[in-house]
Amino acid sequence: MIGGNESCTAGPIPMSYLSCLTYILGEWTGVEHIEDYLSYAAYLLWVLFPLAVVFLLPGVLVILFYTSVLLLHIYKRKNELKEAYSNDFWDGAKQMLATLWDGHGRIWHGYELHGAENIPEGPGLIVFYHGATPADYVYFMARLLIQKKRYCHAVADHFVFRLPGFKILLDVHGVMHGPKEECVSALKKGCLIAIAPGGVREALFSDEMYTIMWGNRKGFAQVAIDAKVPIIPMFTQNVREGVRTLGGIKIFRSLYERIRLPVVPLYGGFPVKLRTFIGEPIPYEPNITAEELTAKTKAALQALIEKHQKIPGNIFRALMERFQSQKKED
């Protein structure tokens, strides 16, 4: 048996396996001194590997979403007969996915939920700051379902409904397009709904300064007024340190404004500490206008950001917070 440092040829000049492979590759390609090119390629791989990792890690979330889709299809297939006789057919599937996502949040981000007692027993409209991905909202929804047995519907951007394979996931979780009438109807039925008024624009183009980007959007406030429900502000600490975007590059902003699709590259997927904070509800007031309620909600959300987030956000600091037992209060 020939060892790793022994000759791979019986010729007069013995060569190691690596030298032999380099020689064969050079003969096959006809490139002289190919070992110099290979050394350069290995150096580039070593230098660029960390960069490749930070752009590939966000793909883990995509894998988790499609894993959820696959599990729902399996669940439906195994329970087709039960579907005809049960009103709560998807309850088991929701619990299963909640366990999957809550486990990911606990392991990867040490996820914590604070202030859940501020969520009313009845209907309410949760308004939250949108990070580069909605992962923090999914963690919140999963934890709420596990701990409080409460389910929260979400209002999503239209492009989400065009993602291949996502229909079953959106249907099971009751994700809505967001017409005012649909939201008001759901709230009047006693549902809990979550919405990020900043939407995709805030997700892609806000930054480590945690700037709220709502523009002139106030439809959510009118929904709360029409449904006569409270608004509950919500913010997740370090949400922009987990995954960041290249939204600061002007060409991506121009492209988004033209085609309205999230074409901005993401990078990160860092295991930073995530803590979701639920603020005190803003009660329904019969005489308040949508403009006034929007301003009041924005001020409440800004207060949560200032209280729980160090500005500007810092990835290394957010990573170190994984080792802190107490949430930030200052």
Pick 309 or 161 by higher pLDDT: 309
Cβ 213 vs Cβ 253: under 8 Å: no
How far is 143 from 79, CA to CA, in rounded Å? 25
Structure tokens at 261: 């699709």
| Distance, CA of 265 to chain centre | 14
- Give whole-number Cα distances, 290 to 287, 294, 303, 330, in Å: 10, 6, 20, 31
Neighbours of 187 (CB within 10 A): 22
Through-space distance between the first and last CA atoms of the chain, rounded to whole angstroms: 67
Strand, coil or helix: 130: coil
Flag whether 84 is in a domain: no
Beta 266-268 vs 243-245: how paired, if at all? antiparallel
- Give whole-number Cα distances, 136 to 9, 161, 245, 311, in Å: 58, 20, 16, 19
Cis? peptide before 283, omega within 30° of 0: no
Answer yes or no: is pLDDT of 302 > 90: yes
Residue 1 has a pLDDT of: 40
Region of poorest pLDDT, from 21-30, 61-70, 236-245, 267-276: 21-30
- In single-letter form, the type of residue at position 34 comes to I
Catalytic annotation present for 130: yes
Flag whether 3 is in a domain: no
Supply the DSSP symbol for 176: B
Neighbours of 43 (CB within 10 A): 10
Tally of domains within the chain: 1
CA angle, 119 then 241 then 126, to 5°: 20
How far is 231 from 252, CA to CA, in rounded Å? 33
Residue 146 has a pLDDT of: 94
Cβ 89 vs Cβ 83: under 8 Å: yes
Residue 263 has a pLDDT of: 87
Flag whether 163 is in a domain: yes
Pick 89 or 213 by higher pLDDT: 213
pTM (global) more than 0.85: no
Q: What percent of the chain has pLDDT over 90?
A: 60
Residue 85 has a pLDDT of: 44
CA angle, 51 then 54 then 57, to 5°: 140
Cβ 268 vs Cβ 57: under 8 Å: yes
Flag whether 281 is in a domain: yes
Give the list of residues 6+ apart from residue 132 with CB closer than 8 angstroms, or none: 203, 204, 239, 240, 242, 243, 244, 245, 266, 268
Flag whether 249 is in a domain: yes
Q: Is 30 left (phi over 0), alpha (psi -120 to 50) or beta?
A: left
Residue 328 has a pLDDT of: 47
pLDDT tens profile 86-141: 557 788 889 999 999 999 999 999 999 999 999 999 999 999 999 999 999 999 99
Flag whether 10 is in a domain: no
Flag whether 134 is in a domain: yes
| Count, residues in the chain | 330
What residues make up the domain containing 134?
47-75+90-321
Q: Domain containing 214 — which CATH number?
A: 3.40.1130
Cβ 324 vs Cβ 273: under 8 Å: yes
Active-site residue among 104, 130, 173, 308?
A: 130
Cis? peptide before 134, omega within 30° of 0: no
Flag whether 300 is in a domain: yes
